[in-house]
Structure 1
Amino acid sequence: MNSITSGERIATLDVIRGVAVMGIFSVNVIDFAMIQPAYFNPAAYGGHTGASLLVWALNMLFIDGKMRALFSMLFGASMLLVIERAEASGRGGWATHWRRMLVLLGFGLLHYFFVWKGDILTLYAVSGLVVFLFRRKEPRKLVVAGGIFVILSMALLGAFAVSVWQSDLAAHAPGATAAQIKQWNESGGFWYPSAARIERDRLLYSGDWWSLVVDNLRGWGSLVGNLIGGSIETIGLMLIGMAAYKSGLLTGKWSDPAYRRLALWGIGVGLLGHALLVYGDIASRFYSPLIMGGFLAAMSPFRIVQALGYAALLALVVRRGRSRLLPRLQAVGQTAFSNYLGTSLVATFVFYGWGLGLYGDLSRWQAWLLAPLVWAVMLTWSKPWLERFNYGPLEWAWRSLSRGKLQPMRRGPAVAAAPAG
């Protein structure tokens, strides 16, 4: 398989994106299946022994955070690719970009309020508007700028983790005041939900669809907070992705030895850091300041280099082109938008009350079993669809709305695959 197909698709980008969107569901499925603190803290709900502990540990070592980082970097790379092609065709880079981000924001808001509030599209749309300002920077400057944003995010999240730790110490010190105890109960309550909170959460998500929508609308402030807090690291990751695109890392242009070195060191260093975190979390019995400070802050550089290591490894695999799975992974990557939102519809149907109503009823490992089933669906439908149509369903809607006119959907007998954007 060549890096660039006859239709100007960059196969390396598509394959990496396909792997990333599949990997993301491996961890998101827990957030669909049970109370949100369980996503970060397996001791909060869903089981943290036996098979459930193994599922958590393997996800933490290989998937959690790494695939989101990779997906964010790919978004930055693809965004730059679309801008370059728009400018080359005379359509205007900024006009094309802001319309795409505005439409993406609309999809994200609909997804957040009416399907699942774990949405990442709103974050990408807002972050993408900022990242546009850096599009002409050379790779080295993009890496520096991205690193600054990542370090700033680490500092803010680390400071918050320290404040939670200090709140714990103050609340459990001799002579602790009622205010100090209340503060710890409020901050620590997220990580260690009470039985009453778990039951309220279960009743909400096991109820009717409209009650969930109303709850999401009432909690709009959480969306704003997520955008403010999450955009800092996301901007940094997108900038690094733009640098990786310009340098040829994500387009299959590096030499084999360079890819092998990055794969070896990136994955190796990332695994080492996350192995230490897994050990620390288990040894501390999942102590909340360590969970937060370790995963959200300290692991940031480790997950970035591990994600880049995965990108290098996949670039080598694409270059070899010997696996029959590659065309299917590429198709999943080309339809990543449809696959991402599709997983939300499938998972909410399986777990929420408007569907099968399994929310809160399964252990972590049992809930995770939905992931390989969804992967199989992704790999099954994406390629045959693209053999008949130019775009995935939602990719077509995004492109049509962004351009203000319906795009040709059905593939003609001699029409090549259309480029992304």
Structure 2
Amino acid sequence: MTAGVFGAAGTADVGGDTAPPGRRISELDALRGLALCGIIFVNISQVMNIHGVVDGQVLPVRHALDLFVHERFFPVFATLFGVGFGIFLRRAASRTAWPRVPLLLRFAALGVFGLLHHVLQPGEALLPYAIGGFVVLLPFSWFPWWVNLPAGAVLVVLSVTLASGGMASVPGLLLLGFGLAQAGVPEALHRSTGKIAAVFAGSAVLSAGALVWQEQDPLSVGFTSSSAVAGLCLSLAYTTGLLLVLKTPAGRVVSGALEPFGRMALTNYLTATLLFVPLGYLLGLPESTSWGAELGLAAAILAVQIVWSRLWLDRFRYGPLEWVWRCVTWRQLVPMRRAPEAV
């Protein structure tokens, strides 16, 4: 049954020159790292309830975040989760005759992580992703990419039209990512420079127009269709922009920081909350207007996590919570330490 979706050999239906089965796609890890870099700035301000409007005026730092950060990175994060689930199902089909069983366990484990995380960060993302996996991805996993891609796009458009985006767009974004994985898009990123550049140019133009639209009501950012549209356009511009940077001489430096960070996305997403909640209280952030301190705290946590991720993955194959997630998914202990290199 899965062979009908992904092809008899477990490869994608389209794309032709795909990556070798099982090879980690480094561009996806870098994009996950990019998403985490933006998400922490939003999460700290929301959990600490930092005030962004004083005397009817939006404070400058908050205004800048509204323009370039808020709602710009969670669409990337959600779509990449959908991509990851799609790639996982394809590869699971080569290991078991019932690939949706480990996929269900993967959703369940993610839901548990989300429930625990919700204690410190109400409104966190993992639980909605798990629910979206059960409700949307599982039934749509029997359909091919040419059904799932447009269906995901329709769901995203409806969420923007009817609910001004936000978490309402998660089901559509997950399905969109799932369809991209089915279509073999992630494996083709290394040879799609022209297409990526065209999408970047188009999304940059659309982002400029969407930001002008959003600025018509700056006090209602996050609750309007204009901010949701701007978020989707900018998230696409950021995604394609990073993919282009990775193809330049500077790409090695950028990927060296973002890829290990993104490979441990689950661990870093959760531990960021464990760090910024107590530190935020120590800095007096709750109910304050201390946006400078918020920026400094976010930057410091990111710097620590980026360095720690690189050091950890030099010794281990998976991040700590990624390893737990993998063990639960396959109902067995998997090797954690890297094998020592031969001398």
The whole-number CA distance in structure 2 between the counterparts of 1:307 and 1:59 is 14
Answering whether residue 108 of structure 2 is matched by residue 102 of structure 1, we say yes
Residue deviations 1:197-252, cap 9 Å, x none? Answer: xxxxxxxxxxxxxxxxxxxxxxxxxxxxxxxx966411101122223334454441
Q: How does 1:204-219 map to 2 (within 5 A)?
A: none
The aligned counterpart of 1:43 is 53
Match 2:81 to one of 40, 61, 75: 75
Q: How does 1:2-401 map to 2 (within 5 A)?
A: 8-34=23-49, 38=51, 42-43=52-53, 48=57, 53-90=59-96, 92-113=98-119, 115-129=120-134, 130-157=136-163, 232-251=168-187, 252-277=189-214, 279-282=215-218, 286=219, 290-291=220-221, 293-294=223-224, 297-320=225-248, 322=250, 323-352=252-281, 358-401=285-328
Alpha-carbon distance change, 378 to 268 in structure 1, aligned in 2, over 3 angstroms: farther
- Which residue identity lines up with residue 262 of structure 1 in the other structure? V
Contact 1:61 1:275 in 2 (8 A): no
The whole-number CA distance in structure 2 between the counterparts of 1:409 and 1:250 is 26
**What percent of counterpart residues are identical?**
29
RMSD: 2.7
Structure 1 position 116, deviation (Å): 1.9
After TM superposition, what 4+ stretches of structure 1 lie above 4 angstroms from structure 2? Answer: 3-7, 229-232, 355-358
Contact 2:261 2:306 in 1 (8 A): yes
Residue deviations 1:14-34, cap 9 Å, x none? Answer: 101111111111211101322
Most deviating of 335-344 and 244-253 = 244-253
TM-score, normalised to structure 2, is 0.84
The whole-number CA distance in structure 2 between the counterparts of 1:152 and 1:88 is 35
SS in 1 for 2:24: coil
Residue deviations 1:278-333, cap 9 Å, x none? Answer: x2234xxx2xxx44542xx3443442233223222222223336432312210011
Alpha-carbon distance change, 332 to 5 in structure 1, aligned in 2, over 3 angstroms: farther
SS in 2 for 1:320: coil
- Consecutive unaligned residues of structure 1, counting only runs of 5 or more, are 159-228, 416-421
Contact 2:129 2:170 in 1 (8 A): yes
SS in 2 for 1:66: coil
Higher relative contact order (CA 8 A, sep 6+): 1
Alpha-carbon distance change, 230 to 27 in structure 1, aligned in 2, over 3 angstroms: closer
The aligned counterpart of 1:194 is none
The whole-number CA distance in structure 1 between the counterparts of 2:191 and 2:233 is 17
Contact 2:89 2:103 in 1 (8 A): yes
Alpha-carbon distance change, 240 to 345 in structure 1, aligned in 2, over 3 angstroms: same
Structure 1 position 108, deviation (Å): 0.8
Most deviating of 239-248 and 17-26 = 239-248
The whole-number CA distance in structure 2 between the counterparts of 1:6 and 1:242 is 17
The whole-number CA distance in structure 2 between the counterparts of 1:136 and 1:350 is 45
The whole-number CA distance in structure 1 between the counterparts of 2:144 and 2:290 is 48
SS in 2 for 1:309: helix
Structure 1 position 141, deviation (Å): 2.5
- Which residue identity lines up with residue 147 of structure 2 in the other structure? K
Contact 2:71 2:166 in 1 (8 A): no
